[in-house]
Amino acid sequence: MQGTTVTSKGQVTIPKAVRQRLGIRQGSKVAFEVKGERVELRVLTSALRAPAKGAYGLLRSRRKAVPADFDPASVLRRVGK
């Protein structure tokens, strides 16, 4: 069993292993219930993971990359002939 210290504000840190096992993240809702001389902690809701700040480069295309000097107007000129 791992112990933790109570702060002057009555706060405690839930050990990382416990948070990971129960899926407790920032924004999760928990409840405390006193049972005799013990306290039960219940996870009410697990917060969703924060969305990625940027997804650029997350997916790769199966198509060949377009050259940096590609001119779309040249394609339109060929189609127009």
pLDDT mean by block of 10 residues, the chain; 81 residues: 89 92 90 95 80 72 84 81 63
The answer to whether residue 65 is domain-embedded is no
Q: What pLDDT score was predicted for residue 15? A: 92
The answer to whether residue 66 is domain-embedded is no
The structure tokens listed for 39 are 């306290």
Whether the Cβ atoms of residue 14 and residue 32 lie closer than 8 Å to each other: no
Domain residues for the domain of 16 are 12-48
For residue 46, which of 72, 26, 75, 16 has the smallest C-alpha distance?
A: 26
Q: How far is CA 41 from the centre of its chain?
A: 23
Q: What pLDDT score was predicted for residue 77? A: 81
Residues in the chain, how many? 81
Q: What pLDDT score was predicted for residue 33? A: 95
The answer to whether residue 17 is domain-embedded is yes
The structure tokens listed for 58 are 């997350």
Bin 66: left if φ > 0, else alpha if -120 < ψ < 50, else beta: beta
Number of domains present in the structure of the chain: 1
pTM more than 0.85? no
Q: What pLDDT score was predicted for residue 50? A: 61
